[in-house]
Amino acid sequence: MGKEDYKEKKVITIGIVKELTGLSERQIRYYEERKLIFPERTSGGSRKYSFADVELLMEIANKIEDGVQTYEIRQEMVRKQKQQNEKDLQKKMIQGQLNAHFGIQKYK
């Protein structure tokens, strides 16, 4: 487990998220409905959030407070994810070219 992996583990209940963010359950669920946040569900249906989710909720709340609409936030998130995917693909392609050039093979 890497240093930053703990931020991605979905272990925090909605009650704790409320305390950490100052948001209501209704607000948190609304952001989930608007596809801004993606909690995991336990077998009993309870939502579980990560530290990264808490940080994202704080960013969302600040943007909403500044008058940004949820659909604009979602568009920005999609755009950032697309850019990250493109960067990841480019990195893999360059690594593949380097491996091919230097005769490096990956073994499984």
Q: What is the pTM of this model?
A: 0.74
Count of structural domains within the chain:
1
What CA–CA distance (Å, rounded) separates 57 from 36?
8
Q: Which two tokens stand for residue 87?
A: 């960067």
Classified as helix, coil or strand, 85 is helix
108 within domain boundaries: no
Place of tokens 């948190």: 28
**Sheet with 12-13, side-by-side order of all strands:** 12-13, 47-49, 40-41
Q: Which of the four pLDDT bands, split at 50, 70 and 90, describes residue 15?
A: very high
89 within domain boundaries: yes
Q: Which of the four pLDDT bands, split at 50, 70 and 90, describes residue 100?
A: confident
18 within domain boundaries: yes
Residue 42 structural domain: 5-102
107 within domain boundaries: no
What CA–CA distance (Å, rounded) separates 72 from 29?
18
CATH value at residue 27: 1.10.1660.10
37 within domain boundaries: yes
